Amino acid sequence: MKLFLDTNVMLDLLGEREPFYISAAKIATLADKRKLKIIVSALSFATVSYFLTKYEGLKNTKDKLRKFKIISGICELDEVIIEKALNSDFPYFEDSLQYFSALKSECDMIITRNGKDFKKSQIPVMTPDEFLNSMKS
């Protein structure tokens, strides 16, 4: 299974943001054990770096991003994705970039804490908790 992680989930994981960290860490552990594959947008690396550097410094942030890169795939943000996002009717441009990145990467699901932002998605959308609970069934 190939999961696209939205920026907020990547930030929950690397920023160890409670109460969301545990679920994000469980998904990362599954990826580390190669039970699933996680994909993120190149945009997410930039956004997470921006926020983490404010609180944790550049060195610590880069160390975390390097470790995360080992367990994740990165979808390029290219002209086609930007064109599709500019012409979409998603309410937020950033979410449309994430969505079209997930489509390009042929992901099976989008994992986000903001499912309402992906109402027009043709790919199933779940929170980290919803996804983990679905694996138990």
Element (H, E) at 90: none
Q: How large is the average pLDDT for residues 90-100?
A: 94
**Is the pLDDT confidence value at 120 over 90?**
no
**pLDDT band at 136; cut points 50, 70, 90:** confident
Q: Which residues pair with 40 in a beta bridge?
A: 74
Please report which confidence band the pLDDT of residue 33 belongs to, taking 50, 70 and 90 as the band edges: very high
Q: List residues bridging with 74 in a β-sheet.
A: 40
Residues forming a β-bridge with 4? 39, 110
Helix (H) or strand (E) holding 131: helix 128-136
pLDDT of residue 31: 96
Q: Is 137's pLDDT higher than 90?
A: no
Does the pLDDT of residue 132 top 70, yes or no? yes
Q: pLDDT-derived band of residue 127, with 50, 70 and 90 as boundaries?
A: very high
Task: Kindly state the average pLDDT of the residues 89-97.
Answer: 92
Instruction: Please give the CATH number for the structural domain made up of 2-136.
Output: 3.40.50.1010
